[in-house]
Structures are given as C-alpha cells and as structure tokens.
Chains A and B, each alone.
Chain A
Amino acid sequence: MAVPLQPATPTVARTDGRRLRSERTRQAIIEAYLALAEERSPHAPTAAEIAGRAGCSVRSIFERFSDILALQVAATDHAMNEIVALAQTHGRDGDRLTRITAQVGMRARTCERWLRLWRSLIVNQGQSDELKQRVLQSRQRAVARLDMMLVPELSTLDDREHRQLLIVLEALTDVESWGRMREFFGLSFDEACELWVQAIDRLLPSSRPIL
C-alpha cells in the first residue's frame, strides 16, 4: 500500500519561518552585543564573545552583519530607538518647576540606564563616521527635548542667547556629567537630580507668562 504523502508546506510559509528565525537570531546578536558592551564598558566585546552570549556561531554574526562596526551601528540604533520610545513628554505644560523636574527625571533615568553603553560608544567610535553621526544625533535629540520642555523660558531670549543657553544646558545634562556626579562626586540619584534642577532653574531666565 502506498504511504500517503504528508501535505507539503507551502514555499511561502517555509520562507517566512526561515526569515523569522533569522530575524530572531539577529535580535539575539544585537542584545548580546549590548549586554556585553555594558558589562565590559568601555571595552567592545569580540565576535566570539558575542556569539557565545547569543548562542550562535561567529559565522551567524557575519552572515547578518558585514563586520563588527555594522553590528555596533545596528546595536546603537536599537538602544537609541528604545530611549526615544521611553521618552515621555508628561509635564511639558506644567509650571516652571514641574517642567524642570520632569525633564531632569527623564534625563537622569536615561543617563543612569545608558551611561556604561554611552561610554563604550564614545571610546569605540574611533574613525567611524556612522557612530560619530549617532553620537551627534543623540545630542541633537537631547537639545531638542530641552528646547521643547523649556519653551516658556527659552522663548524670551534672542537667538544668540537661546542658542548659548541650550549649549550650556546640554553640557550640564550630558551623560558623562551624570556619570561624574554619581561616580566621582558620589552623589545619590536624588541628590544629582536636585543639583540639576537647581542649576537649570538658576540658568533659565524668567518664564514667559502662559496666556
């Protein structure tokens, strides 16, 4: 008696399954890179270490990324997308202190979470234009957020003063500035936040009355 044939899996379904598995492996590689980069910050992990952590072969990494730099760029994008997704804009319509406190809280949590990875990025950006571009974009986003949260104060300034104050506020609330407050000066999370709130309040001009 002839054995009945198993119903053949349609080609499309087989391809989708492969694509899905490949995507999952890609994701696992990126997450392994981020975890290792954070643990060993500022030293970048090797391909063998990443493969070991992701549970795949080194070859699997280079089937998905042309080189380690391409993986670094993809991992940086992944981390930055996560930061953007978590960024809240609550408090933006509040009074001066509410807005400053909301801005500081958000920025402090981001810095606390990403400090080690940021250091790894800064140290390992080397001559890579792509990584340098990511560092620049991250700073531009931080400036845009300051600009949005502090509109009632910054809008009272002329263009030159506005630009200069943003430069100062960005330097004050830089990721590495947070790291120095916490590690070098030994401030607690709350003390560091309070310092930022006080300094920003002192640097800002009077608020424009909200109509």
Chain B
Amino acid sequence: MNAPVAPKSARVDGRRQRSERTRQAIMDAYIALLRERPQIPTAAQIAVRAGVSTRSIFERFDDLQTLSLATVDYAFAIGESQVVARNVDGDRQTRLRSHVETRARTCEQWLPLWRVVVNNASRLDELDVRIRIVREVVSRRIELMYAPELGSVDADKRRDLLVALEILTDFESWGRMREVNGLSFEEACRVWVDTIDRLLPATPRDGHGS
C-alpha cells in the first residue's frame, strides 16, 4: 500500500520552512564569523560555517551586500527583542542598574557587528541609515529610563544631557573599558552607573527618587 501523500500546500509550507531555516543559518554563520574576526566574511566562509553550499547563499540573497544588510537587520531585530525596558517606574538606583545592565549586555554581544557596520557605512548608505536608527533607539531608551530627571530641566539642558549620555554609553566606549582598560563586565557597569548618576540632576520628589 502506498504511503499517504501530503497535501500540496503542506509540502510547499515545509519547503518554505526549510528554506527560511537555511536563510537564518546563513545569517547566524555570518554573525558568528564577525565575532571571531571583525571583517566581512567571504561567501565561501559563510557557506562552510552554515553547512550549506555557496549556491544556497545566492539562491536566497542577490549578492553579498544584500546578505550583509539582511544580516544587520536580523541582528538588530534580535538585539531589540533582548532589550525590553524594565523597571521604568523603579527608583533612581533601580533604573540606573536596569538601564546599564541592558545596555552593557547589548554592547558586549553586538560590538563586533557594530564595528563592521560603522566601518562600512561610508560604502553603503543603507548602513548609515541603520546606524542612525540604532542611535535614535538608544537615545529614546535613555529618555524613557531617566524621564523623571530629564523632565526636571529645560530643553537645552535636557538635549545636552541626552547627547552626553548617548556618547558615554556608546558601543566603543564599552569596548574600550573592556578591551583597552581591562575592566570586568561588572566593573564597567559600575563605571557607567556612577557616571550617569553624577551627570543626572536630582530626581524630583514625585519622580521615583531613591
């Protein structure tokens, strides 16, 4: 007796699912290679790491540039899902620690990819757009986490504080603390918490003060 034949739509869905898994494996391989060596990997290197053929890559991506952009978007989506704002209504110290730990984990995980994106932004306008989006997201998070303190100062002062905090909690600032100055993850977090605490104005009495 013949085995039951899967309906056509189920077969198509299965193929699509496998293809999507391969696509993800290719982008995961790309990110893994960047973490090992901060240079855009070749298609052959990505194929070996992903366990697929080079042809498989170019069946899913028009060229290496398209793959690079797709990988950046994929990484940003993962990154964004990891940085859910917590303790927004906590007291000052709780918000400081929560913000810094989340930001530090992002920097720790994504610094190698960030460096490649920044170094290649002048070659590809789309990368420049993504850098701007990430920086805007970082600034918005700072605004959200320190709303009570930032809301207590005038617009110019608020803008200056936001700029200073964005600069100080930049990926490269984290990278230098860890790589050049040899601080541990916890020590580097402590530096950021102390620094932000010193820069922020006093928390208003009705603004989740410590």
B174 — nearest CB in chain A belongs to which residue? A171
Residues 161-180 of A contacting B (Cβ, < 8 Å): 163-164, 167-168, 170-172, 174, 176-177, 180
B191: chain A residues at CB < 8 Å are 164, 167-168
Q: How far is the CA of A181 from the CA of B191 in the complex (A)?
A: 22
CA distance A33 to B172 in the complex (A): 27
A203 touches which one: B132, B166, B172, B195 (CB < 8 A)? B195
Determine how close the nearest CB of chain B comes to the CB of A194; give it in whole angstroms: 8
Which candidate, B95-103, B104-112, B141-149, B176-184, is the interface stretch facing chain A?
A: B176-184
Choice from A43, A184, A199 contacting B164 with Cβ under 8 Å: A199
Asked if A176 and B172 make an inter-chain contact with CB atoms under 8 angstroms apart, the answer reads yes
* Bound Cα distance A167, B176 (Å): 9
Query: What is the minimal beta-carbon distance from B74 to any residue of chain A, in angstroms?
Result: 24
Chain B residues within 8 Å of A167, by CB: 176-177, 181, 183, 191
Beyond A164-B191, A172-B168, A195-B160, whether A184 also contacts B199 by CB under 8 A is no
**Is A168 a contact partner of B168 (Cβ separation < 8 A)?**
yes
Q: Give B118-141 as 1s and 0s: 1 = Cβ < 8 Å from A's Cβ atoms.
A: 010011000000001001000000
Q: How far is the CA of A176 from the CA of B166 in the complex (A)?
A: 12
Q: Are A43 and B167 in contact (CB under 8 A)?
A: no
Interface size class of B (residues with CB under 8 A): 20 to 34
**Cβ-neighbour of B167 out of A164, A180, A194 (below 8 A):** A180
- Interface contact A184-B132, CB-CB below 8 Å: yes
Tell me, rounded to whole Å, the shortest Cβ–Cβ distance linking A144 to chain B.
15
Chain B contacts of A41 at CB under 8 A?
Answer: 122
- Known contacts A123-B119, A195-B163; is-contact A139 B132 (Cβ 8 Å): no
Instruction: Please list 30 pairs of residues, one from A and one from B, whose beta carbons are closer than 8 Å in the complex, sorted by A's number.
Output: A42-B119, A43-B123, A123-B119, A139-B176, A139-B180, A164-B191, A164-B194, A167-B181, A167-B191, A168-B195, A171-B167, A171-B168, A171-B173, A171-B177, A172-B164, A172-B167, A174-B167, A174-B172, A176-B170, A177-B170, A180-B135, A180-B163, A180-B167, A181-B163, A185-B159, A194-B160, A195-B163, A202-B198, A203-B195, A203-B199
- A-B pairs, 10 with minimum CB distance: A171-B173, A177-B167, A199-B164, A195-B160, A123-B119, A168-B195, A164-B191, A185-B163, A167-B181, A203-B198
Residues of B near any A CB (own CB < 8 A): 119, 122-123, 132, 135, 159-160, 163-164, 166-168, 170, 172-173, 176-177, 180-181, 183, 191, 194-195, 198-199
